[in-house]
Structure 1
Amino acid sequence: MSDDHVLSGPGNQTRRALLAGAGAVGAALVLSACGGGDDSGGTTSAPTSGGPGATAGDAEGGDRQGAASIARTADIPVGGGVIYAAQGVVITQPRPGEFKGFSPICTHQNCPVSNIDGGTINCTCHGSRFSITDGSVKQGPATKPLPAKEIKVQGDHISLA
């Protein structure tokens, strides 16, 4: 067997074919991340099925005066949060029923924040961590807090104010 062949399952496949397949899967994941998602904690919003001209708020019974619902209150974990990059906001729930909005862009070198864990909004570009309560810097190199974003909670829907 040559170095270009790997025994896999019921037949032989070349490493080149396996790598091409892995690359195709990776490309599909990247492209799907650019597409729409649902409001179940993802970072993008999907088209609604509410008919022509409907907004996400219309389809889900949210604010009908212009602001589309970004999330439901149940989507945001207590002591954590969710990053909605496509909508340009991080929504946190530091204490039950208390919702906060912040910019999803790190103040250190404008990298997007990447996750929320242990009570902090984290930027993995250089390790900065920000409080889910007020956006203050908990760990540098960032020296400025995440800017607050105005959000509005109506019933169980959260939208940008």
Structure 2
Amino acid sequence: MSNQTTRRALLAGAGAAGLTAALAGCAAYGDTGGGAAPATADQGAGATGSGATGGGTGAQGGGFARTGDIPVGGGKVFEDQKIVVTQPAAGTFKCFTAVCTHAGCVVGDVSGGTINCPCHGSKFKVTDGSVADGPAKKPLAAVAITVDGDAIRKA
């Protein structure tokens, strides 16, 4: 009888953990924070700092990307971190969530001045994450970053 109780407890615990994860994902989907959007860094505008914590490795100084990896007028999707970094004008870097606000797909690429979702064709402006073409109705949420030298880090 104790084996059944143990199995039952294990399955119940696994089910509860799965449900919790699913509900957490649903709660986060499309959430823009409800308050003010986080600031984005504009290199040259004084929005850099030496005390920021880095998000990952790979770039000089511990950032997750190098400024030279982000094309002017375009951007790069970091699928593993679910963010996209753009450089709308030389030296200006913006960061947004890479999760499309329409159906939760990860955006596929940045081209033609827009961040493009492969699932249903939504397009978002590289300048501010606003919707350029639907079906998405909400903008991509801004993600705070800092630029220190050539390193881009999450703020």
**TM-score over 0.5 for the pair:** yes
Aligned to 2:71: 77
Match of 1:128 among 113, 122, 125: 122
Q: Look up the equivalent residue of 2:65 and give its one-letter code.
A: A
Match of 2:71, SS? Answer: coil
Q: CA deviation at 1:110?
A: 0.4
Q: CA deviation at 1:88?
A: 2.2
Give 1:98-113 correspondences, 5 Å limit.
Answer: 98-113=92-107
Q: Look up the equivalent residue of 2:153 and give its one-letter code.
A: S
Evaluate the alpha carbon distance shift between residue 148 and residue 129 of structure 1 in structure 2; reply closer, same or farther with a 3 A threshold. Answer: same
Structure with a larger share of its residues in strand = 1
Q: CA deviation at 1:61?
A: 4.2
State the number of aligned residues: 100
Q: Which runs of 5+ in 1 are unaligned?
A: 1-54, 63-67
Q: CA deviation at 1:129?
A: 0.1
| CA distance in 1 between partners of 2:85 and 2:117 (Å) | 15
Evaluate the alpha carbon distance shift between residue 113 and residue 61 of structure 1 in structure 2; reply closer, same or farther with a 3 A threshold. Answer: closer
| CA distance in 2 between partners of 1:93 and 1:114 (Å) | 17
> TM-score normalized by structure 1?
0.60
| CA distance in 1 between partners of 2:92 and 2:133 (Å) | 23
Q: Which runs of 5+ in 2 are unaligned?
A: 1-55
CA displacement, residues 112-134 of structure 1 (integer Å, 9 cap, x when unaligned): 10011100000010010000000
Bigger Rg, structure 1 or 2: 1
| CA distance in 2 between partners of 1:61 and 1:83 (Å) | 19
> TM-score normalized by structure 2?
0.62
**Does the CA-based 8 Å contact 2:82-2:106 persist in structure 1?**
no
Aligned to 2:148: 154
Moved over 3 A (4+): none
| CA distance in 1 between partners of 2:123 and 2:60 (Å) | 35
Aligned to 1:17: none
Aligned to 2:35: none
- Percent identical pairs in the alignment equals 55
Evaluate the alpha carbon distance shift between residue 61 and residue 128 of structure 1 in structure 2; reply closer, same or farther with a 3 A threshold. Answer: closer
| CA distance in 1 between partners of 2:64 and 2:118 (Å) | 24
Match of 2:80, SS? Answer: helix
